[in-house]
A = this chain, B = another copy of it.
Amino acid sequence: MATGGVPFDALSSLDPETFAGESRAVINFLADYYRDVETYQVQPQALPGCLRALLPDAPPENGEPMDVILEEVRTHIVPALTHWQSPKFFGYFPMNASTAGFAGEMLSTGLNIVPFMRVASPAATELESAVVDWMGKLVGLPDRFLFSGGGGGVLHGSTCEAVVCTLAAARDRALSRLGHEGILRLVVYASDQSHCTFQKGARIVGIPRSNFRIIPTTAASGYGLTAASVRDAVEADVASGLVPLYLCATVGTTGLGAVDPVRDLGELAQRHGIWLHVDAAYAGSALICPEFQHHIDGAELADSVSMNPHKWFLTNMDCCCLWVASPAALTSALSTNPEYLSNVTEESAGAGVVDYKDWQIALSRPFRAMKLWVVLRRYGGAGMRAYVRRHVEMARWFEQALEADGRFEVVAPTRFSLVTFRLRPRHEGDGDAVDGLNRRLLVAVNASGRAFMTHFVVDGKFVIRMAVGGAMTEMRHVHDTWELVREKAEEVGALQNERNVLK
């Protein structure tokens, strides 16, 4: 189709032949990317404005062919990406891609339905309810979080969304008793290791900033909360006339992979009517292995649990499972019933029908269940356990290598696949110098382009984090990275010695 000489491809934008041809070109592009990604600098040298300078100020007036666009992705965009799928990416937490996760996302994106209510696409809602029950069983959740046990789950895009929704549910449950002015008295508790998303979520739902308690942890408890420290904070607040609302227990913290004691915290939460949320965003994937399930012992005392298949469960961005024991608490905070969404026929309405718009922040939502379902079907429970255990084994090997080399210390025990380490101080009192040395070590490792890690600070000490869990990461990459760390440690150590001499 053309008007005035201009080909208006937009008018036949879903022509099946064009769709198949251009999509195959993208598949080939990505297959090449996966083949080559190991050879790229994991983190690019990309100064601010480097891409922006290559882009025109306005979109083109006339459309351009897909091959031109893909060529620009190759030449302009890929060189300024951090390669999260590189087998040598050990930063933050892994963010898995896989063939099945990609296939599921393609199906979801291609069908492009919007299952905000069951009636808006019945199969999508039913698949989601089934798949969150499947995942709940895999990670060993108590029945009360499954639809089959009176609770239920939903697929969000992020933990933060799960946190905002559960905070709103807990808040509204409390305010129905206290009146809205009670919002000024509500208190949220987390540890100094909890993810910042809890503090942000508490602010979003209107909890006063001064009512967010950050409870310190120590090396003695492996940087997990102790029930005693939470109890002291709760009792002090109650004594001041405040109302304890919500407590976060983390299984696998971001900084160090620490674990809070779910049962102890659950018993405390129940005594005080506090909503307990268990955040297993990263380590939830490990919970599919029986040898890790003791970490959520006591989960039956929690009100909600979440984990992110998009981290370490081969499910491409984005996908977060949230389970709640009381769906009614969630939906009473989040439901809306405008006329334009009411059912014109009754068959899809009524008791027992899940309308997921009332389980989340937004109305519109993608068909995420398709993605997680394809992953679970394609790889199965046994495949996923083998996958997780392989990374755990790699992380343990790295931890042992560190321990066998007297120059390093492991900062927190490697419970899952996150190793936290640093060069040791050689003499008492050289803490600041050692922090600088570790910082330079991390910068040198990342600048080599041969691996990418991130850092954390605990007890005032600079710590390097190596998070194993990439879909393409094999033991040889971990071996190479150990060689790299030793090489760079020698370089920065040598440099340090020279500086000391020069002083």
CB pair A59–B180 under 8 Å, yes or no, is no
Surface stretch bound by B, among A10-18, A265-273, A400-408, A479-487 = A10-18
When distances are taken between beta carbons in the complex, the residues of chain B under 8 Å from A197 are 336, 362-363
Q: Are A35 and B64 in contact (CB under 8 A)?
A: no
Residues of B near A22 (CB, < 8 A) are: 99-100, 103
- Cβ of B14 and Cβ of A471 under 8 Å apart? yes
Instruction: Find chain B residues with CB under 8 A from A317 CB.
Output: 108-109, 112, 114, 364, 366-367
**A204 interface hit (Cβ, 8 Å):** yes
If A27-B27, A180-B208, A383-B10 touch, whether A168 touches B203 (CB-CB below 8 Å) is yes
A contacts with B, residue count (CB < 8 A):
177
A361 touching B164, Cβ below 8 Å: yes
- Contact check, B338 vs A106: say whether CB atoms are below 8 A apart: no
- Distance of A367 Cα from B342 Cα, bound (Å): 34
* A344/B454 in contact, CB under 8 A: yes
Contacts of A310 in B (CB 8 A): 364
Cross-chain contact of A8 among B31, B35, B103, B387 (Cβ < 8 A): B387
Nearest neighbor of A137 in chain B, beta-carbon distance: B58
Among B99, B105, B126, the residue within 8 A (CB) of A52 is B126
Q: How far apart are the CA atoms of A126 and B298 in the complex, in Å?
A: 45
- Verify if A494 is at the interface (C-beta below 8 Å from B): no
- Cβ–Cβ < 8 Å partners of A126 in chain B: 49-52, 55, 80
A242 contacts chain B at the CB level, 8 A cutoff: no
Contact yes or no, B377 A60, CB < 8 A:
yes
Indicate which residue in B20, B69, B118, B387 contacts A11 across the interface (CB closer than 8 Å).
B387
In contact, A98 and B13 (Cβ under 8 angstroms): yes
A30 at the interface (CB under 8 A from B): yes
A59 touches B380 (CB 8 A): yes
Residues of B within 8 A of A106 (CB): 23, 26-27, 30, 102, 106, 109
Which of A231-239, A321-329, A347-355, A495-503 faces chain B?
A347-355
A312 CB to nearest chain B CB (Å): 11
**Chain B neighbourhood of A158, CB < 8 A:** 361-365
Min CB distance A125 to B, Å, is 9
Selected contact of A316 from candidates B112, B160, B338, B364, CB within 8 Å: B112
Q: Give min CB distance, A418 to chain B, whole Å.
A: 11
Q: How far is the CA of A97 from the CA of B119 in the complex (A)?
A: 20
A85 contacts partner chain B, Cβ-Cβ < 8 Å: yes
Per-residue 0/1 for A129-160: is the Cβ within 8 Å of any B Cβ (1 yes, 0 no)? 11001110110000000001000000001111
Whether B336 contacts A387 by the Cβ 8 Å rule is: no
Residue contact A20 to B27, C-beta cutoff 8 Å: yes
Q: Are A103 and B9 in contact (CB under 8 A)?
A: no
**Cα distance, A49 to B95, chains bound together (Å):** 33
Q: What are 12 of the A-B contact pairs (CB < 8 Å)?
A: A3-B386, A10-B98, A22-B103, A44-B123, A50-B122, A64-B378, A81-B121, A95-B364, A110-B316, A164-B361, A180-B208, A318-B366
Q: Report, nearest first, the 3 A-B pairs whose CB atoms are least far apart.
A: A206-B206, A158-B362, A80-B123
Known: A51-B127, A318-B364. 12 other contacts (CB 8 A): A10-B379, A16-B31, A16-B34, A51-B122, A63-B379, A73-B107, A82-B119, A158-B362, A183-B183, A183-B184, A195-B363, A199-B336
